[in-house]
Structure 1
């Protein structure tokens, strides 16, 4: 498949470019409005630079685009790409808020082009093993899930003060929006249920940026399960744990390669078999566009994840009081 990249603003853009090349697909070209980002990108990848977004989208050989622009630009870029009949892989979050998200959903649903959100947590072999364990019933009915998605971005000053990542208008929020959206989607996918209530608080723990760098949400799902989500840029070291507790056991992910399951039904603790090969986001997207697989995540999945995060921000402004979903 022949790809174009819309914007180099996101830190994940080089990773997508690498996946495109390594998977035997073709990176036809890129458009970005920042010369510094373009120069840096072209040191690693040889591809055409388009003078304008319209020039890239008007190129017939480009079948699909990867949108990695600031989140506030997603609506405009998705609209233009769909108008040109391009298939779209969109970086998270879908939008800065649910109002923009609803407009994107309308555009996607009215188009014949394929659209997929990038939520790579769904492809993690450990996570696939966790989901398999839950669905098999070996830990009984699920009562609670705890997820943490954090790094040291605020502690170590990963972003400049002028970065769009720390601009609430362009990013939709701070550290909790940036990483919490992964956890919000992951919980929905894992539980196959919708969030109905959120109590949350967001914080600026480090003071590095004038925006939140950490947040905590307690989420009640439609099947009665309680989810606890911690996310942000204020974790210096350590792993991002995952804990699932059921009536007949538990699942503990204690590191990037460590998974333990306790099952009363099976008589104790054991280490499950975990798939060795991990499918990449680009591989899944191509398979989806070509009709061989379902999308990794839909525009609606992107909307629902953003909705949970926005509900957390609203709750935080209300001193942690309950916010009902849908907003």
Structure 2
């Protein structure tokens, strides 16, 4: 393994592809060395932008002994194939959510990475933000009592302002619309805040712009003991919005309603809304990936979130398509053979 780690950017289909290429250039322990894309024109443009080599043959690139790792931001329907090929070549993988189009494929990729001894990490950035850290501390302290209801909403103006690429409206390449891409963040936060796996999913999708995929989505997840979690996404909202509302038997939390502030009320917090301090955020997913590579460890928590996120997204898409509540299968248990990557 080289130092710094040599990284190739695989695919520039996704809007965050450039962000991860920049991460590879900025991190002191990684070096961006090449770009591949199944669209040669797009790939060559990205390689020129980042000042690195464009490689037209993916297998030739993955076979290079000098290459340590890859970031993968292809179309979602290509994830199983491309991530699988990278793992088979012994390359560490950092990839965009969702991990794979199906739960079985996501579970398979996690097991393949573990067996191959490579570090696989999925970009789930809001797990590590300052407000998430603060909310988790309140939940762990028991200050809310029992969390009975949550609502997390994330929205932007991508299809109103025209900056969201049209490939995001391709139901085959994107595996869904607003919920599958943007709604992933409220989905995994909802699971995190409830400290449990949902028992069932009921989803409703809206098609304001008439595209083949939804541009508005509302999902209700039922958790044990009758607790409810609502998560929402929209790509036709101006201005954009990110809000969190948590209601417990003793107190409530709110974030993002009119400002980037975390507010608490009730119980130990008093009868008026009180602003809580935001601690330092955790290291981001890319930095954690690099650390896992150096330590030879497995990103168990990240991968558990990634697989369960796929399960929730698949169930949401099924519910919206059928108009039925979809019960969820038991949570993923990885094929653990040892504790290291």
Say whether the fold is shared (TM-score over 0.5).
Answer: yes
Moved more, 125-134 or 247-256: 247-256
Q: Give 3-state SS (helix, strand or coil) of 2:256's partner.
A: strand
Residue in structure 2 matched with residue 46 of structure 1 by the alignment: 51
Residue in structure 2 matched with residue 171 of structure 1 by the alignment: 174
Post-superposition CA distance 1:88-140 (Å, at most 9, x none): 11110111233433433442343321111110011111111111111111111
Residue in structure 2 matched with residue 194 of structure 1 by the alignment: 197
Distance 1:290 1:263 in 2: 45
Moved more, 296-305 or 134-143: 296-305
Q: How far did 1:61 drift?
A: 2.3
Distance 1:112 1:175 in 2: 34
Aligned 8 A contact 2:119 2:297 in 1 = no
Q: Is 2:279 the counterpart of 1:254?
A: no
Distance 1:2 1:12 in 2: 20
Aligned length: 323
Distance 2:56 2:41 in 1: 15
Q: Is 2:158 the counterpart of 1:153?
A: yes
Residue in structure 2 matched with residue 303 of structure 1 by the alignment: 307
Post-superposition CA distance 1:201-253 (Å, at most 9, x none): 1110222x222111111101246431001113121214211111111111100
Residue in structure 1 matched with residue 238 of structure 2 by the alignment: 236
Gaps of 5+ in 2: 331-341
Note closer, same or farther for the CA distance 1:273–1:189 as it changes in structure 2 (3 Å cut).
same
- RMSD over aligned CA atoms reads 2.2
Residue in structure 2 matched with residue 11 of structure 1 by the alignment: 15
Q: Is 2:218 the counterpart of 1:216?
A: yes
Residue in structure 2 matched with residue 116 of structure 1 by the alignment: 121
Post-superposition CA distance 1:132-167 (Å, at most 9, x none): 111111111111110112211222333454x2x211
Residue in structure 1 matched with residue 270 of structure 2 by the alignment: 267
Aligned 8 A contact 1:4 1:29 in 2 = yes
Distance 1:10 1:57 in 2: 20
Distance 2:18 2:264 in 1: 36
Aligned 8 A contact 1:96 1:173 in 2 = no
Q: Give 3-state SS (helix, strand or coil) of 1:154's partner.
A: helix
Gaps of 5+ in 1: none
Counterpart pick for 1:323 among 326, 331, 335: 326
Q: How far did 1:277 drift?
A: 5.3
Counterpart pick for 2:318 among 301, 310, 314: 314
Q: Give every structure 1 segment of 4 or more consecutive aligned residues whose post-TM-superposition deviation is greater than 6 Å.
A: none
Counterpart pick for 2:82 among 58, 62, 77: 77
Distance 1:5 1:42 in 2: 9
The structure with the largest helix share of the pair is 2
Distance 1:96 1:147 in 2: 23
Q: How far did 1:284 drift?
A: 1.6
